[in-house]
Every structure is written in C-alpha cells, then in structure tokens.
Structure 1
C-alpha cells in the first residue's frame, strides 16, 4: 500500500497527460529550435542504428577473406564509415542538446517568473496561512521537474521508442521474425514491470517530498524567529523538533531507496534473461550455418545498443514520474486562483479630491465571527480620521479592506464615489500609502529600503524623505551611512528606526491617501512628536486614515471614531469626545493614568 500523504498533497490520480500538455506553451516559444533539435535527434538515431550494420560488413569481409589475399582498402573504408557513424551519433546528439538548451532554460525562467507573480497576486489570507519553507521546496523541485520533463521526454523516451522500431525493422528484414518477437516480448515485459513498480514507488516519492517540506518549513520558521528561540532557551527543543521531522524524512527516503533497489534488480534480471535467450538463438544459427559471424556480431551489437537505452529508459521513466509528482504540486499552486481579483470591467482609479467612504460595511474572516457590523463613515478629502478602540475592535480590518487585502461581505468602500471592487488593484494601491504597525525590511541597504517606496526616485529625493522622517541624522552617524545593511527582516535596526524607514518610504511614494496603522507605536516620546509633526504636515494635503491605540497620537485628527466590538460607538473631535464623558473619555483617563503612574511611585 502506498503511504499516506498530508492533507495538502495534490490528488494522486491527476492526469499526467494534462501536466505534460501544460508544458507545450514553453516549447511553442521556440518552435524552430524544437524542430531543429528533433531533426538532430533523428539523425543521431539513424547513425546509431547504422553502426552495427557497418560492423557486420567489416567482420564478414575479414572472416570470408581470411587466409587469402584481400583488398585492404575495402575494410579500411568500412572501418572509416563505422567510425564516422559513431562520431555522427555523438555529434548529432550534442548538437541536439546545444540547440535545445535555450528552450529548457527559458522554460525554467518563465515558470519561475510565473510562480513569483502568481504568489504576489494571491490574497493576504493565502500568505498568512502559507508555510514558506515547504513552498520554497515545491517551487524549487517543480521548476527542476519541468526542465527534466522537457529534456528527457523528448530526448530519451521518444528516441528510445524510435530506436526500438528501427532495430526491430532491420532484424525483421535481415533475419527472421523470431528475433523481433523475442525482442518485443522482452521490451513489453520490461516496460510493464517498470511501470507497475514505479507506480507503486510514487507513493513513497510523495511521502518523501512531504516530509522534506515539513522539515524544511520547521527549519526556516525557527531561523526566522531566531530571537524568540534565544529568549526562551529553546535551541535544544528546536533541534529536537527539526530532528523529528528529519527522522520521518529519513524513513520515507529509506522506503524510496529500497523500492528503487527492487526496481533496478527486476529490470536487470529481465535484461539478463532476454540477452541469454536471444544470444542463444543466434549461437545456434551460427553453429548451423544459418547466420554469419558478422550477423552474430550485428545481433549482439543491436541487443547491447537496444538494452542500454532501454535500461536508461527505466531510469528516465522513474525520474519522469518523480518529476510529474513535483510538477503537479507546482501546477496545483498555479491553478489556485486568488480570492481577490480585478473585475472583468475594472477601471483605473481616478483620484480627484480623494474622499473615502465606508457605507454599511459588514465583514468577517470566518462565517461564525463577524468583525465589522454595519460600519459607515466618510473621510473628506484632505481630512484626517482616526480610529481608536480596544484590541480586536476591528480597527486594522478597516485598513485591510480599504487596501483591498480582503473584500467586504456586504456594503461598499468608495474613493471619490468609485467602489474599490470595480477598480484595478494596481491603481488602487498606487493611490494609497501604508505605514504598518510591524515594519519588515528587506535584507539590503538602508538606502535601497528607503528607495523601495519609489524605485525611480533620485538620491536627493530619498535623502529628503529620510530627513522628513527624522532618520537622516541617525543614518549619517553610521559608519557605512546609507549603505548600511539592515539584516534579515531589518533586525539590525531598532523598532523605532525600522518604523521611521517605513514612514520615509511612504513619504517618498507620495500617495494621495495615507493609512497609518499604529505608525508611531515603536517610537520614544521625543521621536514620536517629531514624526507626528512631520505626518501632520504631510497629512494636511492628503486623505488620511489613522489606526491608533495610543490616544495621545490622534488628538489633532479632524474626527476620531471610537470602535467597540466591530461597530462605531462614538465620533467627534478630541475635545468633543472628552465632553461626552463616554467610552473615549474612559480610555483617555485610563491611558493618562498609566502614563502618570510611574512618576507617582
């Protein structure tokens, strides 16, 4: 019985022909090269199949003229022809590979780019659930599998089948049908055995891949959370968990190796028995005078010539089956459509004033838990609206819906009267700048992380944005300045420094709409005020949605919305909300008490 696989494994009975047919677009890009490579393939096989015939005539001429004066130039010419055919076989094969190389490499490039784009087009929910290590393994194996299928399906299976047809035809003409029958029976038994055992082995291949994904996912996740591992002294625990995954992978690989030994042994046995039977037939005919020594040599050469690629065909078939397993996971990944897609008639967002309106918005991440319950409010053009409330009230969800990481369940979100679901995601996100609560930087220089906000920006514009975010002085103090590497996920910078980088690159992007999601949460009081002054200055020219937990950061907002359990319970300016002495006033008093408490001790 094949081993079970994880729940994420693709269907095991997916039609292999559909996978192979999916490779055609990558071949169609270079039809001329494919045709020329196929021509070289045929010429190589013709030369290969002709070689034993030349060898037969050499042996027959030498045997028949032994002990008499012979014309030496005749066997020398035959030897020359024999050598030319052998060289031609190799030459045409190498030319075939050289011509086809561009096709295979370009296919790997195309599919890698296609997967990369597809992953970036997937919705946020997909990336929140993904396992990076396993996903990376699937992409790596899948792209390698495509290259293998393109090369070996065309250049091993097809040539071997062509060679079998040519050899059997020659034997049928030159000798008798018994040789053809014996070879065909051997080939059929060999192919049936190889297919049956390989299908049995496929389950072990899938299991080994799944275990490899799991162990790699664990390793990547642990390394990405290096600091957390250190905080809790869990290096040994992580090593044990990783080793447990490797143990399962080792067992799966062992099953794979043992099953391969069964396959190799069986194939070798079939070839050995076939050689014995066919050569015994030839020996008997030579002894009876029905076959010349040259004929015997030709039969022997054809058998060796036939069974060597046939044995290779067994290997290729095994590898093709494994490649199909790898490619089917990749194609399954590509086949999953994004939950957030542009409408068929989506238009480009036209930002005039920049007014943002939420109209009776209902939303839930899961059907059994509604997050937003009929939220309605408007951010007038150029105004700043802040949303405050306890954790889990739905504040950050508003930003995610406006940026269209998710779509509303009902209601609508409009920019200048245009429903965000009816405009292209690219134009929507071009018009919005986001400073997230948790800033993750690329493992690159500070300059490149800043310039990421607008890669086409000039150096002076990048420096100006850094000055606006109160970051320029800090950068100048570093030994390498703007060329300083920030490390994996920006771990070489403090939380406040990373957040100022995020603010600077949004300022560089210069969008008409801003989303500030706890944008100053990691800053000290002095830096916070400097950044707030800069943001307030920038916000005067933009429509701004501020998500905040600390109420002190939103006192200057034009309107403050107070959310509780997915609904807006209060709204107004800071002073107005304090006068109401409601939920906002209680939050304000509580936060002020927490700030003053250390000074009272």
Structure 2
C-alpha cells in the first residue's frame, strides 16, 4: 500500500523522503520520551522529592519542546512532498493520457479519468501531509514506551509488547470490510461524475424530453448508487472501529490490572503504580488515533494503486529516429484492426492514395470508414499489415513528424472553452495574428466573429456549446487551413447542416483540399463523383474500387448506393399530401 504511494514521489522530491522518515522517528522518540519522563516526575512528586521533580520536569519540558519542533518540521517536509506529488503526478497523468491509443478511451469514461486525475491524486497528497506520520507513530511510540517501561517493571512492559501486535492484527482484520467497499465507492463516484458532466452538457436535449431533475433516471440512479456505496462503506467500517475500540480498552484494563496487582503485592510503590497507569493511557492513545486514520490511509493506498495501474496502461510505441519524408502519399498494405481481439473491424485493407489525388471512402454506417482515416494518422496501431505515410511506416515515424503531414477534420468537432482565436490557433500555435485571420476568412469564420460582441475574443464554451454545428465545423476547417499540412483526412459533416452553413463549409473544404492529398469519408454526391478513386467499404472490407464512372458501369454495390443517394436527394413532400395530412392532424 505505502510502496505504491512511495513509487509516485517525483525524482526531485525523493531526497526529502529520508528526511521525512527520520523526522517521524524523532517525533515518535520525543513523544515517547515525554510519556516515559512522566513516571519519574510523578514518583518524585508523590515521594515529596521536589528537587528531583523539578529536574525531571525540565527534561520533560525538553521532550515536549522537541515533540513540537519535530512535529512542525515533519509536517512541513510532508506537505512539501505532498504538494510536489500533486503537481508532478497530475502532469505525468496528463502526459500519459496523450500517449494512449484512442481505443482505450472507448472503454474508460471521462468520469473515471477525472476521478483518477483529480480525486485520487488529492487522496495521495494527504498521505505525507497528515496520514502517514500518526499511523507510524501508532507503532513506534507504543514500542518505545513498552521498551522504556522495562526499566520500571518488566511484567508491564511484556504485557504491552504482547498486546501491541495483537491490536494491529485486530485493526487490520476489522477494516477488511471497508477495503472491499473502497473500489465500489470509486466506481460509483466515477459513474456519478460522468453523469453530472453529461447532465450539464446535454441540457437542450434533456429539457426537450423533460428528463431534467428527478426525470433524469440515469443521473438519479448514479447518485443513488454513489450514496449507497458511501453508506455501505460507513456501515462496513463502524463495526471494525467498535471492535478495535473495545480491544484497546480491554488492553488498557489488562495493563491497569497488572499494575494494580504488582502494587497490591508490594512490588510497586503507589507513586510508580499511578505513573504506570498514566503512561498506559498514553500507550493506547496513538493506537486510537491511528484506527481513525487507517481507513483513510487504505483509501489513499487504493488510490495510488489505481494511479499506478493507469500509468502502466500501454502507450503507443514512439519512434525517435528522424525520417526523410518523400511525397505526401498514403499506402495501406493488408491492414487488419479491431477494437478488441475477438472482433476485427478492418480486414485485409490494401489501397494507395497517390500524392495530390483525392480518395473517397463510402459505404454503410458502421463499416469502418472513419476508422480507416484514424488508422492513417495512427490514432491506433494496426493488428497486422502496415500503413505508410510520406513513404515511411507510421510506426517508424515520431508522432510530431507524422501529424505534421496531416490535417484532420472529423465529424465530432471539439472546441476548447477558450476564445475563437485560440481555438483556430491550435492548428499552428506559432502563427501570427494575420495568418489566423486569413485562415478564418477562408473558412468564413469572420462571418461568425462579426456578429459577436467580443469578436475573435469570444469564448465559445465547453465543447463549443455556444456555437452551432456549422460554426464549430468552420472553426475546425480554419484550424486545418492554418496548419496547411500536405495531407487532409476529412470526414465530411455537412449532412446535418442547414443549406447556408453547408454551402459555407463546402467552400472552406474546397480551400482546404486544394493541391493536397485527400482521403475523405464522403457524404455529398458531388464529392464522391469528382474523386480520383472511390473505395466502397462494407463490414471492414474494401469490396469495390475505381472511379465514379467505372463503378457505375459495374452495376454493383456502389451503383446501388449511388442510386439510393440520388433518389434521397430528390425526395420531397407533395404539397397537397402535406396540407391534407396537416389539416387532418389539426382536426380540420
């Protein structure tokens, strides 16, 4: 448990760990010394030897002062390590997140990710700031006290040394129930986080269907499960704490019994007996404190385990050797890929996109069209076969080299909660303001900023929530225009746009793809018809390929697809039928 936390300490703070542990030991020794020195102080007072009492009291004051100093120093060092871990671990998690294949995100929700990066990291922060020291003290202080009592009465010392490991075992067994429920708390909290984010982002849809508040069963259910998991954890920990508390008090009564028995037998003076009873109460105090913190420490250990498991997720292998790129072409050679090993999505895909040409990929929904685009930019590694971009296998190119050749425009446009200018500048961060404006004009983003009070400085909201789908797509195209990469991977997203937005976006796409190597998942008939090569994909296989005229002459799957699209384009409601249906619906 602690080993997992220690593994997360950043290198620049590891040198503080021995100092922290040394201060914890010194704190325990000084605290135990203060407890033990109360024995001669009380003996001297009861014996009326005030000179010795003052001398021992002076030493007691030194021990108390040392306890305060060492406690302060270990708190400062622990806080320094904890804050350093907070910054470093979150940075490591963020860097690692950017190296994971996108397939990983399909099985892990945003709630679980945020829970790890925010919640779990804050849990491990508390280990060094306020958890580890009292737990270690709960072991060290009683041991030192028990050893020190050897010089007063060995029988009481032996009773302490025997009872201590028994109490630690009882504490561990008593908390088994909480440890088991900790993972359920994490899972429930992750789901609740995801549902809350979803609830906030999907307000228009939820309100349209009356699924807000108690009507949102998904959110309500997630919050109920989180509440139940937390309640179950409390009920699981309470019996253990009660059992441990009873055992601690039983040990204290045992020590009192031994002391009183020794005193009544004449082996101990009354003063020594009173002092030993006082020390015995100090002996069990750290144990009670540790019992209250042990669940939090175990929770932090589980959090560290989840963080280390996340950091162990397999990254996409990164090439480091530079490559000399040739012309901007793309070659798929017998590519196979699946999001899971037992369910292949792409099988035996082989094709070439020559430099300066346009290849359109068409086919039914779910056939793997968009996946082919993402494989070309190495969003995932292929299961077999190879993909070459610019004359080199994508796995043999540094990510910056590969992605520097490619501009991506997909259907699922995501804008950051920043200004329009910052979202466009993402295409090339070092671009000048004039270059950003020029790309915006080509994509007709200038039309958007003209009607906004803050213009280019308008913040678009999370995911671009304050903009329409067509406006978000224009900004996405402006990004790609600003990047000006020789290869464009385009998943057209104009089918859901109004005629004006579609026309504007199409003009931006024409500017983007001029004199470029283009692979497009095509939805518009004009884009398909003018492509240099058309690939018809079905169930992850390329079943037909050729030009538009060649495929129509074959009369196969593409010809049927083209016919269906053409008929759908010309479909409309007959005015008389529409009026008749409308009048009937209105009752007249």
Same fold (TM > 0.5): yes
C-alpha distance in 2, partners of 1:422/1:535? 30
Q: Write out per-residue CA displacement over residues 518-555 of structure 1, whole angstroms, 9 at most, x where no aligned residue.
A: 15445444454454444334433422212211112345
1:119 alignment partner, one of 88, 92, 97: 97
> 1:208 maps to which residue?
185
**Coordinate RMSD, CA, aligned:** 3.1
Distance 1:251 1:21, change over 3 A: closer
2:247 alignment partner, one of 270, 287, 291: 270
SS in 2 for 1:29: helix
Aligned length: 574
The 5 A counterparts of 1:37-76 are 37-65=20-48, 75-76=53-54
C-alpha distance in 1, partners of 2:14/2:347? 57
2:392 alignment partner, one of 397, 414, 418: 418
> 1:33 maps to which residue?
16
2:441 alignment partner, one of 463, 467, 484: 467
Normalising by structure 1, what TM-score? 0.85
Q: Write out per-residue CA displacement over residues 267-286 of structure 1, whole angstroms, 9 at most, x where no aligned residue.
A: 22222222223224334544
The question of 1:437 aligning with 2:420 is answered: no
C-alpha distance in 1, partners of 2:267/2:339? 83
> 2:579 maps to which residue?
none
> 1:341 maps to which residue?
317
The 8 Å contact of residues 263 and 273 in structure 2, kept in 1 or not, is answered as yes
Higher mean alpha-carbon deviation, 156-165 vs 284-293, is at: 284-293
The 5 A counterparts of 1:492-531 are 492-531=466-505
The 8 Å contact of residues 383 and 540 in structure 1, kept in 2 or not, is answered as no
The question of 1:88 aligning with 2:66 is answered: yes
SS in 2 for 1:26: coil
Q: Write out per-residue CA displacement over residues 270-318 of structure 1, whole angstroms, 9 at most, x where no aligned residue.
A: 2222222322433454456543455334323422222111112223333
Distance 1:556 1:537, change over 3 A: farther
Distance 1:215 1:600, change over 3 A: closer
SS in 1 for 2:113: helix
Q: Write out per-residue CA displacement over residues 212-245 of structure 1, whole angstroms, 9 at most, x where no aligned residue.
A: 3334433333433333323332336753443334
Higher mean alpha-carbon deviation, 133-142 vs 415-424, is at: 133-142
> 1:13 maps to which residue?
none
1:391 alignment partner, one of 352, 355, 365: 365
C-alpha distance in 2, partners of 1:559/1:293? 102
> 2:583 maps to which residue?
none
The 8 Å contact of residues 4 and 301 in structure 2, kept in 1 or not, is answered as no
C-alpha distance in 2, partners of 1:154/1:255? 25
The question of 1:567 aligning with 2:542 is answered: yes
C-alpha distance in 2, partners of 1:117/1:137? 16
Q: Return the offset for 1:341.
A: 2.9
Higher mean alpha-carbon deviation, 97-106 vs 455-464, is at: 455-464
The question of 1:298 aligning with 2:272 is answered: no
> 2:585 maps to which residue?
none
Q: Return the offset for 1:580.
A: 6.8
C-alpha distance in 1, partners of 2:195/2:138? 43
Distance 1:24 1:302, change over 3 A: farther
Distance 1:97 1:366, change over 3 A: closer
C-alpha distance in 1, partners of 2:3/2:282? 28
The 5 A counterparts of 1:181-192 are 181-192=158-169
> 2:580 maps to which residue?
none
The question of 1:194 aligning with 2:171 is answered: yes
The 5 A counterparts of 1:228-307 are 228-235=205-212, 238-286=215-263, 290-292=267-269, 294-307=271-284
The 8 Å contact of residues 198 and 263 in structure 1, kept in 2 or not, is answered as yes
Q: Return the offset for 1:459.
A: 2.3
The 8 Å contact of residues 141 and 327 in structure 1, kept in 2 or not, is answered as no
SS in 2 for 1:377: strand
The question of 1:219 aligning with 2:196 is answered: yes
The 8 Å contact of residues 382 and 539 in structure 1, kept in 2 or not, is answered as no
SS in 1 for 2:98: helix
C-alpha distance in 1, partners of 2:237/2:348? 61
The 5 A counterparts of 1:444-483 are 444-483=418-457
C-alpha distance in 1, partners of 2:565/2:265? 109
2:143 alignment partner, one of 156, 165, 170: 165
> 1:313 maps to which residue?
290
The 5 A counterparts of 1:350-365 are 350-365=324-339
C-alpha distance in 1, partners of 2:236/2:334? 61
Distance 1:355 1:142, change over 3 A: same
1:379 alignment partner, one of 331, 353, 373: 353
C-alpha distance in 1, partners of 2:232/2:429? 50
C-alpha distance in 2, partners of 1:65/1:366? 82
Q: Return the offset for 1:503.
A: 0.4
The 8 Å contact of residues 57 and 294 in structure 1, kept in 2 or not, is answered as no
Normalising by structure 2, what TM-score? 0.87
Q: Return the offset for 1:141.
A: 4.0
The 8 Å contact of residues 59 and 294 in structure 1, kept in 2 or not, is answered as yes
Distance 1:177 1:475, change over 3 A: same
Structure 1: which 5+ runs fail to align? 1-15
The 8 Å contact of residues 349 and 428 in structure 1, kept in 2 or not, is answered as no
Q: Return the offset for 1:493.
A: 0.6
Distance 1:531 1:260, change over 3 A: closer
Structure 2: which 5+ runs fail to align? 576-588
The 8 Å contact of residues 5 and 124 in structure 2, kept in 1 or not, is answered as no
The 8 Å contact of residues 488 and 517 in structure 2, kept in 1 or not, is answered as yes
2:110 alignment partner, one of 95, 112, 132: 132
